[in-house]
Amino acid sequence: MTGYGGRRTQAQRDAITVEIGYALLSAAFAAAVLFGAVAGPALLFQLPDPVEKVLLRAGLLAAPVLFLARVVSVLIRFPERRLPEQHDVGHTDGDTGRPGGQPSQPGRTSPDS
């Protein structure tokens, strides 16, 4: 079964798991870098109290927003790339018996050709 409501193959589930992990890790890294860039000066240097508060609050506000935006953008982009084994399922070429008529080994023709 393919399409909506169908079962996913193990390769598809693995691809989704890897993509979610990538989205979370890259978002955490980006948020940490942003927080460090915005709030870092307030933590490293003696600045006036109002400036320190503004920088810390700006960092604490911007980091989760960036984290969420990064996760959403990576996961929305994911379906645009084809999942493994999501190609012309059910359509086989009579010559090779493989989906789309591809030979079993790249660079070689099928025995019937």
Tens-place pLDDT, residues 3-42: 566 788 888 889 999 999 999 999 999 999 999 999 999 9
* The pair of three-digit structure tokens given for residue 4, joined into one six-digit string: 């909506």
* The pair of three-digit structure tokens given for residue 22, joined into one six-digit string: 């990538």
Average pLDDT, whole number, for the chain? Answer: 80
* The pair of three-digit structure tokens given for residue 32, joined into one six-digit string: 């940490």
Whether residue 16 contacts residue 82, with contact meaning beta carbons closer than 8 Å, is answered with no
* The pair of three-digit structure tokens given for residue 67, joined into one six-digit string: 């984290």
CA distance 103 to 111: 9
Residue type, 48: P
Task: Give the pLDDT score at 37.
Answer: 96
Whether residue 89 contacts residue 2, with contact meaning beta carbons closer than 8 Å, is answered with yes
Q: Write the CB contacts of 10 (distance below 8 Å, at least 6 apart in sequence).
A: none
Q: pLDDT by residue (tens digit) across 71-82? A: 999 999 887 655
